[in-house]
């Protein structure tokens, strides 16, 4: 087969113009200047990735800082990072299910259940922490597996399956906690320490920042070289240098600023690491491709030979497992598991974080970084408003208004998309 | 094996039926395809051609009937099974993921280096394939949603050439293609035949059918309505078999035009 | 040990900063009961203003979410408060907040609900368990006096709310030995009156006239209970309540609800402000009691029925007749001589 | 234009075979027998409309009746009908937004706000009931209008808009209730009476039942005659008689059985009337067509010249207005408006009712009757479990399990759809 | 009005350009259509034909350029505006609602009796239209999702005949149609012309173009590449204009076949 096809390749590739830039309708851009024009052009075309969310974030940060100057203080930002981690991890799982066009309403209950299981095994039963943690995560994964079976076999809408899960696992959580209702995790346990007091030493933070920027440069450089070799267009080295330097400066500044008080929490680093791993899985593996394909057009994915059921299963399992991990982090952060853990607005916040981060509820569009940005938007609003001394009624109204503001900014900057025909 | 089966057929269908609700889409269909052979399946709109294709590629299970592939009776419960047997299909509705770009669609399910995608290799190969089909696609990094109808069809055709199929099924592959692209696809079909593949091509264009097919199987209202050697029949005969009458709209139109009615 | 560390810390910080222009955090647990925003907060703020005109109060409500309360406490600490008064959403989980505050030498006062596992610096309350037993006992006594025969329904608070658990325990302590059969009980999700109404409607179907009284854990669930009887076209048996909302006072006056309980919120809130101010000044107030290793001050709430509603709620100035005696309640008020 | 097209119509219509039955691949079915075969065939093909939900309902009714024999008692069923009305009306609005592929998360808050406004105006301000009711409904409609503007102008996802609304209007509700927190509605007011004690007199109920069945027959008969006249196939009169008689018997039985205790509540009749009106609007008007079209393929609807924005606006306004009406009914039923009205699981229940009733979360599929059936499933579960004296933990688990059971039954009977190629 | 405009044109485009991101899809396009005239627009895949159609029917706004309709310069901001002007379009991607049935799709936006739909009248009229196009659709009460490709295309064409347009735009109307249906559509186009409508037809089939068109406008890579009177040019000339070369894949294939290579 391959021979047939290759036999007529006319070998014009690798000339002076890169293979992918030969169409005469394409405006060509090269070098640093080209990269810049490209960004501007993409911005006008509404194809901006996460930039709009970042803009929205900057707007609400400014508003909140004006309302209370403590908001951007180092200490408050450290709180912000630590408080984002638990729900952020849950939102990461939500991104995955939303990508395949499904939903999981039970992440709150599953996280609560996981916290309860952890507390019972670790505190009441006195098992080692790793056993308790594994058990909690395995239960989470099992929940996702059951959802996937129900979904794949019976075709029950995931909304209803997970609504049933929401109720069922809330019940199980209460049952596991029993009459006690709440269990404290010991303050001197590694787990609580990790979530409350463990911060990355300054030297290590700076090193990590440099490594991250260096890695961005190196991988970008190698990739560009490979593309050039294959006769394809590639990012110019100068553009790469600028990007890496920008990242470096941003990271160094962040590390330095947070370092003014407690620094960067290990829990936050853990969350960011998970985001990076998920980003890799979603964008650089066949599994990730299949997830987007299933979310975009499940029938097309099936016809391409993708085992759609496996993809659904993996995604539901992943989401519930992340919910369980989030529940463990939440319990560790609170140093307790109680009846209301995972209740309240955990579900809505996790889903909202994913959606605010640009994940489509209809499937096929979204990124792992969206969860990171989305949760930071949500936690910023929540944290910013706790700094204002407001009545609950006013607080709710202001929260709603600020949330809307953040997202309108985002949507307006995306808006041109439609008028440029990318609806 | 059924006695009427061609001895050298790589794919044989016997008694295939399929009903959708109250509509009998296919009734008792027979079809044989040999290697080095291009079988054209023709028929009116709604005759059941695409339904047949979907059964062969595992999209729908047949209600009854048997499929024999390379001498063994097989079951094609899902598209993955068809891929495994070596049946590649270009669907009439293309079945592309609009949110993915051209490269991602081309290599969907058969990505190079699954655990760390090799996008340089995939991009290079994509350009090769598309060039070969004379595709006029300015960039392979745009989502398929942004392509024109013909560009999409070219992508779908290019995709079926990846992998290493034994049978290629093309459901109206040239419907949206420009004249140059159509010519390339016909060339391609001939090359595929030379390479020993069996090709099933569905088309409404009698000129294309006459040009590349070896055999023509006619479907009418979901039933077999004759299999012809392409050398033995005229386009008019095929059309008569398709419409079920020699006095059909095409013939009427042709005669009207010959009589010199306003064109 | 922790308590004393906290105390020392508070002393130091007090010595440094004094109490002028200081901030104090007042962290309330939920919105299910209206009292926190309606009564506790304004009373506390007023008393604080009186003690220290330049001080400011940071009020937060955690809306029944322990994690949110933790966030609120952290942000209060980030704002440099000199003391925290906290009504914990979850008595157990609040331990973290106590630790965080004490680690920064900020004294912390448990308000309304105790924090047993990690002693706070002070504890001011009336006891929720006691409330449960008081309202239930009052009902049981009433039923006995009426020679009622039959059983009792028990409408508890939210299954995920620790305070509701305490009240439930108190109710059981009165109902179980009373001789009246406990027909059924229900943990009302989110304290929702609608849920309580649905449940009670079902029980009316099931037990009919066997129900001689209902112990409802707060005034909201009581209102749902009463509506259920009305909607079933039945006479409303005596129903308890708790929180002394205005709507409950109206129902008591009209005779729809049997009792509610008035917590001396004014006294407690003002006591809390007093204690907080002392801590802010760097003193270390002595408790009148000691509960859970914490210096404590406990107040006794009063059960309100039709008999004493005038005296407890109106004569003391907790409520104004003009607010309560509107429209259809005017008649009842007049009968009770409430003006 | 018309002439052109008509000029070649060959006039073969109106022969012995109905115009729409002339294709020789169609299996023909006529008369009562044909109607029956048709149902069986459609059942096998998975094209069952609401039948699966009804089957699911029957299954859980049986289960609950076995668990507690009071469940199907007349009194309990009367309760069930009365308790369904408020959330049912809200679910009706949700069906509309889901049909266009959007969502409204704020129906709970809006219903709470509407109850609060009603109580303040009616009780505190002493305004006449109709003024208070109109004000509450108008506020609801205004909320929907604002959502629609944000959605149409900025393209903010409705999930986020209404999430902001959820928070904002909850705040407004608290604000409106002010320091009181709860306001009693007088038990002797017409409103409370309507929601609690007003039942349709027996003679009128029976009359209504007969009228409904008669109307079904008459309209069906006239329609069939019209179709026959136009040379199209039509339902046989005998099939119509059977259907109408079945409806008559069912309604008479229901009226009789509920009449054993209190009878059929006016509030329930009001809800059913709303369902019928919405059913008419959705299935028999251009507006309804447009709603389905927008939900199915918004770009195609736009290209067909439909003013898509108007449709979105109408749907959001309708949904919020229904939420307001639901809030009024809920307040009337409780005889009080308080801070937690509309909170808790009102949102989830309303959305779940719509989804269980067969409305797709992706738009374009669903019916008004779905809301009716869905809410009855949900209230049955809730009511059935209140009759069992269970611990909360167990109650939650059983609720989840029963919900799942109901929907699995439904989905399994729909399942064949895919295998028959109607995925 | 531009000096080059045809005096009798009902629709004239001048200087129309449209860019999608980095791709210039249309640059400076001119086009005139008169009543009683069929203008064929041809071009390679991705030449910008459908983009032009979408601009005329209000789907995309043009980046620059003017549209003159019946002597007035007009703005077509959305499809409703195009409908109001009397421009009816059959889109290449058909733009049908898959969840609605055939009748519902046909009458979408122009239902009979908006407040109490008259489905008997609509169904009768649907059958009339479909018969006339020789559509082989077993039932009009099935959702469009269940139709074959050709059946759908027939529905889309039938839809454009409702209402009372002055201009009909057909974007590859016969791509998925069977031979009989294609003949009927060509007949239809001729009837439309006789009734005084202006027709813009896009097609890759030179035979169809030569059969019904009066003028042929060629697009190449988003630019005008000549307008021909159909009587003056041969199919080969048009193809040369489309591909931009006389030595193209079509010509090569044709000559190869004449030299007697295996067919
Ligand atoms: N919505 C869009 N977003 C981005 N690019 C687009 C969009 N629509 C079309 N294009 C690009 O514009 C160019 C012209 O597309 P168009 O659909 O007009 O081609 P066409 O002439 O109709 O081709 P075909 O014969 O294949 O239908 C193509 O290169 C296509 O990729
Ligand atoms: N998923 C389905 N559900 C119901 N009916 C279907 C389905 N798919 C196809 N049909 C019906 O089966 C018949 C055959 O359809 P099919 O798509 O096979 O026709 P075709 O020969 O490919 O026609 P075309 O030339 O128009 O592509 C049609 O009448 C169609 O309505
Ligand atoms: Mg087909
Ligand atoms: Mg096109």
Q: What is the pLDDT of residues C108-142, one digit of tens each?
A: 999 888 888 788 899 988 778 889 999 999 999 99
> Helix, strand, coil shares of chain C as percentages rounded to 5?
50, 20, 30
pLDDT of residue C184: 92
**Do C89 and A335 lie within an 8 Å CB cutoff?**
no
Select the more confidently predicted residue: D297 or D4.
D297
* D232 chain-E contacts, CB cut-off 8 A: 120, 123-124
**Do D404 and A299 lie within an 8 Å CB cutoff?**
no
pLDDT of residue A27: 64
* Chain D, nearest residue to E120 by Cα: D227
Q: How far B197 CA lies from chain D's nearest CA (Å)? A: 30
pLDDT of residue E15: 95
Answer whether C218's CB lies under 8 Å from C242's CB.
yes
Establish whether this prediction's ipTM goes over 0.90: yes
- What average pLDDT does this structure show over B203-220? 94
- Which of A164, A169, A356 is nearest residue D404 as measured by Cβ atoms? A164
Q: Kindly report, residue by residue over B216-261, the tens digit of the pLDDT.
A: 999 999 999 999 999 999 999 999 999 887 777 777 887 877 775 4
Pairing of β C181-187 and β B198-202: unpaired
**Do E183 and B22 lie within an 8 Å CB cutoff?**
no
Distance CA E136, CA D26 (A): 12
* Chain D, nearest residue to A106 by Cα: D400
- Which of C75, C92, C159 is nearest residue A182 as measured by Cβ atoms? C92
Q: What percent of chain E has pLDDT over 70?
A: 95
Q: Does residue B19 sit in helix, strand or coil?
A: strand
Closest approach atom of ligand 2 to CA B43 = 21
Chains with ≥3 CB–CB distances under 8 Å to D: A, B, C, E
> Looking at residue E143, what DSSP letter applies?
B
Confidence class for position A2, pLDDT limits 50, 70, 90: very low
**Do E132 and D287 lie within an 8 Å CB cutoff?**
no
Q: How far A302 CA lies from chain B's nearest CA (Å)? A: 7
Confidence class for position D7, pLDDT limits 50, 70, 90: very low
Select the more confidently predicted residue: A193 or A2.
A193
Q: Kindly report, residue by residue over D189-214, the tens digit of the pLDDT.
A: 999 999 988 999 999 999 999 999 99
CA-CA distances (angstroms) from residue C163 to C64, C158, C169, C171?
10, 9, 10, 12
* Chain E, nearest residue to A46 by Cα: E21
Q: Which of A25, A41, A422 to mutate to test the interface with E (most CBs of E within 10 A)?
A: A25
Q: What pTM value is reported for the model?
A: 0.92
Q: Kindly report, residue by residue over D169-196, the tens digit of the pLDDT.
A: 999 999 998 877 789 998 889 999 999 8
Show Cβ contacts of residue B191 under 8 Å, excluding neighbours closer than 6 positions.
A4, A7, A8
Comparing C-alpha atoms, which of B189, B39, B170 is closest to residue A4?
B189
Token pair listed for E243: 């591909």
Comparing C-alpha atoms, which of A113, E244, C234, A273 is closest to residue D396?
A113
- Nearest alpha carbon, ligand 2 atom 12: B25
Show Cβ contacts of residue E137 under 8 Å, excluding neighbours closer than 6 positions.
B46, D23, E102, E130, E147, E151, E154, E155
Q: How many CB atoms lie within 10 A of CB D188?
A: 9
Q: Name the least confident of B36-45, C59-68, C221-230.
A: C59-68
For residue B64, list its beta bridge partners: B17
- What average pLDDT does this structure show over E46-65? 95
DSSP assignment of B109-158: TS-SSTTS--HHHHHHHHHHHHHHTT---S-TTSBGGGS-HHHHHHHHHH
**Do B21 and D25 lie within an 8 Å CB cutoff?**
no
Confidence class for position D420, pLDDT limits 50, 70, 90: very low
Distance CA A267, CA D26 (A): 65
Whether D308 shows a pLDDT value over 90: the answer reads: yes
* Chain D, nearest residue to B26 by Cα: D25
Whether D366 shows a pLDDT value over 80: the answer reads: yes
From start to end of D191-277, where are the E strands?
A: none
Confidence class for position C284, pLDDT limits 50, 70, 90: confident
- Which of B97, B163, B197 is nearest residue A296 as measured by Cβ atoms? B97
Give distance in angstroms: CA of C129 to centre of ligand 1. 73
Mean pLDDT score of chain B, rounded to an integer? 90
Whether A419 shows a pLDDT value over 70: the answer reads: no
- What average pLDDT does this structure show over C71-80? 88
Closest approach atom of ligand 1 to CA E47 = 21
Confidence class for position E260, pLDDT limits 50, 70, 90: low
- What average pLDDT does this structure show over A14-27? 68
Q: What percent of chain A has pLDDT over 90?
A: 59
pLDDT of residue B2: 42
Show Cβ contacts of residue B146 under 8 Å, excluding neighbours closer than 6 positions.
A421, A422, E20
Whether B119 shows a pLDDT value over 80: the answer reads: yes
pLDDT of residue C108: 93
Q: Kindly report, residue by residue over D107-150, the tens digit of the pLDDT.
A: 999 999 999 999 999 998 999 999 999 999 999 999 999 999 99
Mean pLDDT score of chain A, rounded to an integer? 87
Comparing C-alpha atoms, which of D130, D82, D136 is closest to residue D271?
D82
Chain B, window 54-113: residues with a beta carbon less than 8 angstroms from a chain D beta carbon:
60-61
* Chain E, nearest residue to A41 by Cα: E21
Pairing of β C151-156 and β C211-216: parallel
By most ligand atoms within 8 Å of CB, the mutation choice from B21, B48, B153, B218 for ligand 2 is B48
Distance CA E131, CA D58 (A): 45
Whether E262 shows a pLDDT value over 50: the answer reads: no
**Do B138 and A289 lie within an 8 Å CB cutoff?**
no
pLDDT of residue A15: 44
Q: Kindly report, residue by residue over A143-192, the tens digit of the pLDDT.
A: 999 999 999 998 889 999 999 999 999 999 999 988 777 888 888 899 99
pLDDT of residue D44: 56
Partner E contacted by D393 (CB < 8 A): no
Select the more confidently predicted residue: C79 or B2.
C79
Answer whether B10's CB lies under 8 Å from B35's CB.
yes
Whether E81 shows a pLDDT value over 70: the answer reads: yes
Q: Does E contact C via 3+ CB–CB distances below 8 Å?
A: no
Whether C227 shows a pLDDT value over 90: the answer reads: yes
Q: Kindly report, residue by residue over B5-21, the tens digit of the pLDDT.
A: 566 889 999 999 999 87
Whether A7 shows a pLDDT value over 70: the answer reads: no
pLDDT of residue A32: 67
pLDDT of residue C12: 37
- Nearest alpha carbon, ligand 2 atom 4: E146
**Do E221 and A24 lie within an 8 Å CB cutoff?**
yes
Comparing C-alpha atoms, which of D388, C229, D11 is closest to residue E128?
D11
Q: How far E73 CA lies from chain B's nearest CA (Å)? A: 29
**Listed residues: CB within 5 A of ion ligand 3:** B 50, 92; E 148-149
* A169 chain-D contacts, CB cut-off 8 A: 400
Q: Name the least confident of A97-101, A251-255, A406-410, E226-230.
A: A406-410
Pairing of β B198-202 and β B167-171: parallel
pLDDT of residue B73: 94
């Amino acid at each position: 087969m391959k021979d047939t096809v290759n036999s007529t390749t006319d070998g014009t590739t690798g000339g002076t113009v890169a293979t992918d830039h030969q169409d005469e309708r394409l405006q060509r851009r090269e070098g640093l200047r080209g990269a810049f024009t490209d960004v501007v052009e993409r911005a006008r075309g509404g194809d901006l990735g996460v930039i709009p969310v970042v803009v929205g974030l900057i707007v609400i940060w400014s508003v909140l800082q004006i309302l209370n100057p403590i908001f951007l203080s180092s200490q408050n930002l450290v709180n912000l990072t630590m408080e984002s981690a638990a729900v952020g991890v849950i939102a990461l799982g939500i991104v995955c299910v939303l990508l395949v066009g499904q939903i999981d309403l039970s992440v709150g209950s599953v996280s609560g259940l996981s916290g309860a299981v952890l507390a019972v095994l670790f505190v009441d039963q006195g098992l080692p922490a790793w056993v308790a943690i594994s058990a909690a995560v395995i239960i989470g994964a099992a929940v996702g597996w059951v959802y996937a079976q129900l979904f794949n076999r019976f075709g029950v809408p995931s909304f209803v399956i997970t609504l049933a899960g929401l109720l069922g696992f809330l019940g199980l959580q209460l049952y596991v906690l029993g009459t006690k209702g709440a269990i404290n995790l010991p303050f001197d346990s590694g787990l609580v320490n990790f979530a409350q007091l463990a911060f990355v030493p300054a030297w290590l933070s700076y090193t990590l920042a440099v490594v991250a920027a260096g890695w961005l440069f190196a991988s970008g450089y190698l990739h560009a070289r490979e593309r050039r070799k294959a006769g394809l267009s590639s990012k110019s080295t100068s553009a790469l240098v600028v990007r890496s330097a920008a990242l470096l400066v941003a990271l160094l500044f962040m590390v330095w600023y947070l370092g003014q008080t407690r620094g960067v929490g290990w829990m936050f680093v853990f969350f960011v690491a998970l985001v990076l791993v998920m980003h890799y899985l979603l964008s650089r593996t066949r599994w990730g491709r299949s997830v987007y394909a299933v979310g975009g057009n499940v029938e097309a994915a099936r016809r391409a030979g993708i085992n759609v059921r496996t993809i659904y299963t993996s995604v539901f399992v992943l989401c519930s497992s992340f919910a369980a991990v989030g529940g463990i982090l939440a319990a560790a952060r609170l140093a307790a598991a109680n009846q209301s853990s995972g209740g309240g607005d955990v579900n809505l916040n996790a889903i909202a974080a994913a959606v605010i981060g640009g994940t489509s509820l209809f499937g096929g569009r979204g990124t792992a970084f969206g969860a990171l940005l989305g949760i930071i938007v949500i936690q910023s609003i929540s944290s910013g408003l706790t700094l204002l001394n407001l009545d609950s009624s006013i607080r709710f109204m202001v929260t709603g208004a600020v949330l809307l503001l953040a997202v309108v900014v985002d949507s307006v900057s995306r808006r041109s998309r439609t008028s440029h025909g990318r609806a | 094996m059924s006695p009427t089966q061609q001895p050298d057929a790589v794919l044989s269908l016997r008694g295939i039926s399929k009903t959708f609700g109250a509509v009998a889409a296919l009734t008792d269909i027979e079809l044989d395809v040999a290697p080095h052979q291009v079988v054209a399946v023709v028929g009116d709109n709604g005759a059941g051609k695409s339904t047949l294709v979907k059964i062969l590629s595992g999209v729908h299970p047949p209600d009854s009937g048997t499929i024999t592939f390379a001498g063994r009776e097989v079951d094609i419960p899902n598209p993955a099974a068809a891929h495994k047997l070596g049946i590649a299909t270009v669907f009439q509705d293309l079945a592309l993921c609009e949110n993915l770009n051209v490269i991602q669609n081309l290599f969907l399910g058969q990505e190079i280096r699954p655990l760390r995608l090799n996008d340089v290799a995939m991009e290079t190969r994509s350009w090769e394939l598309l060039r070969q089909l004379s595709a006029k696609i300015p960039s392979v990094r745009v989502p398929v949603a942004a392509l024109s109808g013909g560009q999409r069809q070219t992508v779908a055709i290019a995709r079926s050439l990846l992998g290493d199929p034994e049978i290629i099924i093309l459901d109206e592959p040239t419907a949206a293609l420009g004249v140059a692209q159509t010519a390339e696809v016909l060339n391609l079909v001939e090359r595929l035949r030379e390479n020993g593949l069996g090709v099933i091509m569905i088309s409404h264009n009698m000129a294309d059918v006459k040009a590349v097919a070896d055999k023509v199987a006619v479907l009418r209202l979901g039933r077999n309505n004759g299999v012809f050697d392409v050398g033995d029949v005229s386009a008019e005969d095929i059309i008569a078999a398709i419409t079920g009458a020699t006095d059909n709209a095409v013939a009427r139109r042709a005669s009207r035009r010959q009589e010199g009615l306003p064109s | 040990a922790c308590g004393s560390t906290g105390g020392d810390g508070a002393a130091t910080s007090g010595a440094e900063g004094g109490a002028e222009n200081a901030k104090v955090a007042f962290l309330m647990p939920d919105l299910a009961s209206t009292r926190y925003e309606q009564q506790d907060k304004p009373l506390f703020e007023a008393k604080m203003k009186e003690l220290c005109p330049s001080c400011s109060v940071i009020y937060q409500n955690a809306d029944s979410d322990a994690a949110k309360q933790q966030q609120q406490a952290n942000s209060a600490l980030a704002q440099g408060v000199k003391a925290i008064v906290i009504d914990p959403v979850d008595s157990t989980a609040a331990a973290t907040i106590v630790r965080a505050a004490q680690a920064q030498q900020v004294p912390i006062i448990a308000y309304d609900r105790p924090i047993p596992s990690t002693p706070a610096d002070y504890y001011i309350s009336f006891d929720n368990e006691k409330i449960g037993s008081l309202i239930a006992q009052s009902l049981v006594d009433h039923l006995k006096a009426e020679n009622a025969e039959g059983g009792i329904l028990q409408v508890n608070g939210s299954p995920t709310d620790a305070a509701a658990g305490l009240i439930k325990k108190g109710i059981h302590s009165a109902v179980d030995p009373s001789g009246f059969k406990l027909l059924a009980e229900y943990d009302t999700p989110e304290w929702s009156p609608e849920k309580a109404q649905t449940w009670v409607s079902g029980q009316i179907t099931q037990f009919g006239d066997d129900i001689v009284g209902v112990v409802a854990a707060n005034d909201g669930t009581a209102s749902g209970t009463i509506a259920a009887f009305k909607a079933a076209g039945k006479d409303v048996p005596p129903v308890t309540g708790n929180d002394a909302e205005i709507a409950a006072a109206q129902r008591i006056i009209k005779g729809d609800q049997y009792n509610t309980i008035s917590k001396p919120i004014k006294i407690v809130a003002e006591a809390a402000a007093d204690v907080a101010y002392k801590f802010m000044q760097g003193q270390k107030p002595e408790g009148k009691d000691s509960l859970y290793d914490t210096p404590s001050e406990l107040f006794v709430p009063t059960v309100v029925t039709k008999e004493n509603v005038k005296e407890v709620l109106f004569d003391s100035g907790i409520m104004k007749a003009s607010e309560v005696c509107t429209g259809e309640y005017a008649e009842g008020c007049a009968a009770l001589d409430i003006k």
